[in-house]
Amino acid sequence: MSEPPPGCIERYDASVRINHWIVAISFVLVALSGLALFHPAMFWLTSLFGGGPWARILHPFIGCFMVAAFSLLGVKFWRENLLHRRDWIWLRKIKEVVNNREENLPEVGRYNGGQKLLFFVIIGCLVCLLLSGIVIWRQYFSAYFAIDVVRWGALVHAFFGFVLICSIIVHIYAGVWVKGSIRAMTRGWVTPRWARKHHRAWFREVTKGIQQR
Amino acid sequence: MPLQSLDIVRRSATTLPSPEARGAHTGEVAKLIDTTKCIGCKACQVACMEWNDLRDEVGTFTGHYDNPHDLSAHSWTLMRFSEYENPKGDLEWLIRKDGCMHCEDPGCLKACPSPGAIVQYANGIVDFQEENCIGCGYCITGCPFDVPRISKKDKKAYKCTLCSDRVAVGLEPACVKSCPTGAIVFGTKEDMTQHAAERIEDLKSRGFDQAGLYDPAGVGGTHVMYVLHHADQPALYAGLPEKPRISPTVTLWKGATKPLALFAMAATAAVGFLHYIGIGPNEAEEADEEAARRDLENTP
């Protein structure tokens, strides 16, 4: 296993990174197959899965797999994502955030308010998608539900799928926007300057007692 | 090949017009089922099986005359028997031939996500094209009459075609041909409405004051219509819905939601892109590096 370069700080160990990318890849697959069945303009995406019936068959299985894989991350990072007062202040100052004026924001721990909010939005979406998805999973479950429940299931599923896709677009963009973040999830480490600038409280905490090299 | 009929007025999950040069110049069609003339012989069920070459599994006895007890991928039409005790205390045996109503505004077609899996011809017939069906069952959620059924074997949706193959070559549907009492008739929607009016007048003269035509406006009218003795209480006929319409949930899901959500997703990505171009990335600078080094030096 590779160590972070001298002076750099480990942010995600290999097991978290692998877990994250399993979730990410299954999300891409489930989102593409879901969009394919959501809007006619996207139906061509079923070709990526071997046609309409295959997209319909695979989508729910990939979705369940994604929920299972994410739940490991969810349990692991639950505590660190609980929102505190300073996170709400951070969120209220979102204008400073998007304008790259971090000096005007409260100190951030391992995660900032936006990341924490995203964490719970994802969990909320996944719970709703899982439950509504079971209801509209025609092959195994729909027959057990009243037709109106299935209709609601379809609408709820589409809505939370939409919310999740938008949230993940924001998540991906944040990684591209805040330089040095993607490396945290690909290689596992961040530079001290990155940590100090974006997550100062976390930086202090992890560097406590570390000898300057 | 179905599109080569050149009379496709609606096609599922399709945003552009389909080949529709051929109109229904002889008028839209309708099948009129006169429940007051039906004797429940099930000849129509047999004719449907024969013409469409369908054989359902032999089912189980469920305590009433309905046989099979529900529509299925192999039973596209079914006599539903209802025993009704009227206010006078007499028993009325109400028999309704159930099956696809061929709505003018078909909920199944609206809900279907697969291009061309459901089409509507200019003559009004709503037809499933199973080769395009992906088996998701959305048509079931769209249907106000609980008609489509997914085959357990091939996972495709099936329902009455109104014998579109026969009608296309100038024949009447198989069930119509087989009916021994003339309870099922077929023709243009206009003729059938007129024929129904005569029947209703006759029924009213015989004491059925509430006799009427079932051609529900909520789905834009249907291409299968009923003459009912109790048109004021369609639910008596094995739960025929009084005011069927496409569920508002389905309308919302397949209406405004689709384009709006797609637009919002694209907009989210576009805003990100413009933010990057306009405001730019958030990078930790040399100054942050120095500050970090100072912090580390001061750490006990």
- A-chain residues within 8 Å CB-CB of B247? 148, 151
Per-residue pLDDT for A94 more than 90? Answer: yes
A118 domain-assigned = yes
Residues B136 and B239 in one domain: yes
pLDDT value for B300 = 61
Per-residue pLDDT for A213 more than 50? Answer: no
ipTM score? 0.91
Residues B237 and B279 in one domain: no
Q: Do B15 and A40 count as a contact with CB atoms less than 8 A apart? A: yes
Q: Do A204 and B295 count as a contact with CB atoms less than 8 A apart? A: yes
Is A20 known to be catalytic? no
Return the half-sphere exposure (C-beta side, CA atoms, 13 A cut-off) of residue A139.
15
Return the half-sphere exposure (C-beta side, CA atoms, 13 A cut-off) of residue B261.
27
pLDDT value for B129 = 96
pLDDT value for B297 = 83
**Which residue of A135, A151, A190 is the best one to mutate when testing the B interface, meaning the one whose CB has the most B CBs within 10 A?**
A151
Residue type, A183: R
Instruction: Give the end of a domain, one of B218, B238, B253.
Output: B253
A90 domain-assigned = no
pLDDT value for A210 = 59
User: Any idea what the CATH number is for the domain that residue B196 is in?
Assistant: 3.30.70.20
Residues B135 and B283 in one domain: no
Of A59, A157, A171, A199, catalytic: A171
Residues B224 and B273 in one domain: no
Parent domain of A62: 12-85+100-207
Residues B117 and B155 in one domain: yes
Confirm if A87 and A199 have CB atoms less than 8 A apart.
Answer: no
Residues B248 and B261 in one domain: no
DSSP letter for each residue of chain B: -GGGGS-EEEETT--SPPP--S--TT--EEEEEETTT-----HHHHHHHHHHT--PPP----SSS-SSSS-BTTB-EEEEEEEEE-TTS-EEEEEEEEE---BSS-HHHHH--STTSEEEETTS-EEE-GGG-----HHHHH-TT---EE-TTT--EE---TTHHHHHTTPPPHHHHH-SSS-EEEEEHHHHHHHHHHHHHHHHHTT-TT-EEE--GGGT-BSEEEEETTTT-GGGTTT--SS----HHHHHHHTTHHHHHHHHHHHHHHHHHHHHHHT--B---HHHHHHHHHHHHH--
A4 domain-assigned = no
Q: Do A151 and B291 count as a contact with CB atoms less than 8 A apart? A: no
Residues B203 and B101 in one domain: yes
Each residue of A118-137: pLDDT tens digit? 999 999 999 999 999 999 99
Secondary structure letter of residue A41 according to DSSP: G
**Which residue of B72, B109, B145, B265 is the best one to mutate when testing the A interface, meaning the one whose CB has the most A CBs within 10 A?**
B265
- A-chain residues within 8 Å CB-CB of B281? 176-179
For residues A123 and A146, give the distance between their C-alpha atoms in angstroms, rounded to a whole number: 26
User: Any idea what the CATH number is for the domain that residue A57 is in?
Assistant: 1.20.950.20
Cβ–Cβ contact A208 with B under 8 A: yes
Q: Do A207 and B137 count as a contact with CB atoms less than 8 A apart? A: no
pLDDT value for B260 = 95
Q: Which residue of chain B has the CA closest to A36? A: B113
Residues B89 and B199 in one domain: yes
- Contacts of range B197-203, beta carbons closer than 8 Å, 24 or more positions apart: B199/B34, B199/B36, B199/B227, B200/B227, B203/B36, B203/B227, B203/B229
Identify the band that residue A176 occupies on the pLDDT scale cut at 50, 70 and 90: very high
Per-residue pLDDT for A211 more than 70? Answer: no
Q: Is A178 helix (H, G, I), strand (E, B) or coil?
A: strand
Residues B280 and B248 in one domain: no
- A-chain residues within 8 Å CB-CB of B263? none
A45 domain-assigned = yes
Average pLDDT over residues A4-27: 95
Cβ–Cβ contact B132 with A under 8 A: yes
Query: What values do phi and psi take at B96, rounded to 5?
Result: -125, 125
* CB pairs A-B closer than 8 Å: 159
What is the count of structural domains for chain A? 1
Per-residue pLDDT for A212 more than 90? Answer: no
| Residue listed under structure tokens 């899996």 | B117
pLDDT value for B46 = 97
A201 domain-assigned = yes
- B-chain residues within 8 Å CB-CB of A99? 279
Confirm if B10 and B122 have CB atoms less than 8 A apart.
Answer: no
Confirm if B32 and B186 have CB atoms less than 8 A apart.
Answer: yes
Residue B25: other Cβ atoms inside 10 A: 7
Parent domain of B200: 2-253
pLDDT value for A178 = 96
Residue type, B221: G
R_g of chain A computed on alpha carbons? 20
Return mean pLDDT, chain A: 94
Residues B113 and B260 in one domain: no
Per-residue pLDDT for A209 more than 70? Answer: no
Cβ–Cβ contact A175 with B under 8 A: no
Average pLDDT over residues A125-150: 97
Mean pLDDT per 10-residue segment, chain B (300 residues): 84 93 91 97 97 94 90 97 95 97 98 97 97 96 97 96 95 97 97 98 96 97 97 97 96 93 96 96 90 82
What is the count of structural domains for chain B? 2
Q: Which residue of chain A has the CA closest to B278? A: A99
Residue A44: other Cβ atoms inside 10 A: 10
Helices (H), chain A: 14-38, 52-77, 85-92, 94-98, 113-135, 147-177, 181-186, 192-198, 200-207
From the list B132, B155, B288, the residue facing A197 with the nearest CB is B288
A93 domain-assigned = no
Residues B75 and B219 in one domain: yes
Residues B125 and B79 in one domain: yes
Q: Is A112 helix (H, G, I), strand (E, B) or coil?
A: coil
Query: What values do phi and psi take at B5, rounded to 5?
Result: -70, -15
